[in-house]
């Protein structure tokens, strides 16, 4: 059975935040470090549920439903974290101040959190502002409904940006990999990225890699891929260095959220 300890013997995982509202499912949690060792998290919750039975079905990422029907709606919540990276109080973020030209998918999807220019900021994606429903990068500040859209060429999807103190890091054009999150290190960033095997086909599953990224956003080194579990959709959205460990925040099947701890020396060895 695939397990994170198959790759990192010292790794451990725990639940991060259980569902706190009926028919709303937490996913893609993003944790980040701010000034003076302060930590915070941004978490998405939406009304789209993917089945999770007793055994994983490798193609059930395509099977999803919205209880009661209607559009897919994402709501986002922010919380500071205590010294053990536990949420202190979740506060719902304002609805984005964007036009509703594609009502089938509403809200800000998959936001990644960072501390930048003296504030908690995030980078995610929006589909509701374009009649086509094509995703564009969306940037905002915690507590504000104002959203900046970075337009993409016609028909080009822009998602999974990695915000940092020096700007948005988008590694997809370089590598074909999707951004999950970055944590500052001495000469740049330690990042985690993901991609899909058998994309849009039965048997699809996600894999992650660690990445060393320089201050200009260039990928200098990629690790071998690793997985968290046998489930198809394990997606990381946050990374911090904490008490000698690399801590990753991730969701499973778009319905459960977890933290993974991996000793930093094991991660650096995986990158060697």
Query: What is the structure's pLDDT at 61?
Result: 63
Lowest mean pLDDT among 35-39, 132-136, 203-207: 203-207
pLDDT band at 1 (very low <50, low <70, confident <90, very high): very low
pLDDT band at 21 (very low <50, low <70, confident <90, very high): confident
Query: What is the structure's pLDDT at 59?
Result: 58
The mean pLDDT value for 77-87 works out to 96
pLDDT one-digit tens code per residue, 90-112: 999 999 999 999 999 999 999 99
- DSSP E strands in 95-134: the ranges are 105-106, 108-116, 119-126
State the DSSP code for 95: P
Q: Tell me the pLDDT of the chain averaged across its residues.
A: 91
Q: Is the pLDDT of residue 60 over 80?
A: no
Q: Counting beta carbons within 10 angstroms of the beta carbon of residue 20, is it exposed (0 to 12), middle (13 to 18) or buried (19 or more)?
A: exposed
Share of the chain above pLDDT 70, in %: 94
State the DSSP code for 49: B
Phi, psi of 34 (to 5 degrees): -110, -155
Asked whether 258 and 214 are in contact (CB, 8 A), the reply is no
The mean pLDDT value for 234-261 works out to 95
Asked whether 262 and 13 are in contact (CB, 8 A), the reply is no
Write the CB contacts of 67 (distance below 8 Å, at least 6 apart in sequence): 23, 47, 49
Region of 230 on the Ramachandran plot (φ > 0 left; ψ -120 to 50 alpha; else beta): alpha
d(CA 94, CA 47): 17
The mean pLDDT value for 53-59 works out to 64
pLDDT band at 205 (very low <50, low <70, confident <90, very high): confident
- The length of the chain is 272
Asked whether 74 and 109 are in contact (CB, 8 A), the reply is yes
pLDDT one-digit tens code per residue, 25-54: 999 999 999 998 999 999 999 999 887 766
């Amino acid at each position: 059975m695939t397990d994170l300890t198959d790759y990192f013997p010292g790794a451990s995982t725990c639940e991060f935040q259980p569902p706190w509202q009926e028919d709303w499912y937490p996913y893609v949690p993003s944790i980040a470090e701010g000034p003076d060792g302060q930590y915070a998290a941004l978490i998405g919750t939406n009304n789209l549920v993917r089945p999770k039975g007793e055994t994983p079905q490798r193609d059930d990422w395509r099977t999803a439903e919205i209880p009661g029907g209607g559009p897919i709606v994402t709501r986002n919540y922010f919380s500071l974290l205590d010294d053990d990276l536990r949420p202190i109080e979740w506060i719902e973020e304002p609805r984005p101040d964007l036009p509703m030209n594609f009502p089938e998918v509403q809200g800000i999807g998959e936001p990644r959190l960072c501390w930048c220019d003296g504030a908690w900021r995030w980078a995610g994606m929006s589909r509701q502002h374009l009649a086509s429903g094509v995703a564009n990068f969306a940037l905002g500040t915690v507590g504000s409904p104002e959203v900046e859209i970075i337009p993409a060429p016609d028909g080009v999807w822009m998602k999974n940006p990695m915000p940092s103190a020096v700007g948005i890091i988008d590694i997809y054009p370089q590598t074909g990999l999707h951004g999950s999150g970055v944590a500052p290190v001495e000469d740049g960033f330690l990042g985690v990225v993901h991609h899909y095997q058998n994309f849009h086909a039965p048997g699809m599953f996600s894999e992650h890699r660690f990445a060393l990224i320089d201050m200009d956003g260039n990928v200098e080194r990629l690790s071998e891929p690793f997985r968290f579990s046998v489930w198809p959709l394990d997606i990381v959205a946050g990374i911090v260095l904490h008490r000698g460990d690399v801590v990753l925040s991730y969701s499973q099947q778009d319905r459960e959220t977890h933290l993974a701890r991996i000793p930093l020396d094991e991660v650096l060895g995986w990158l060697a």
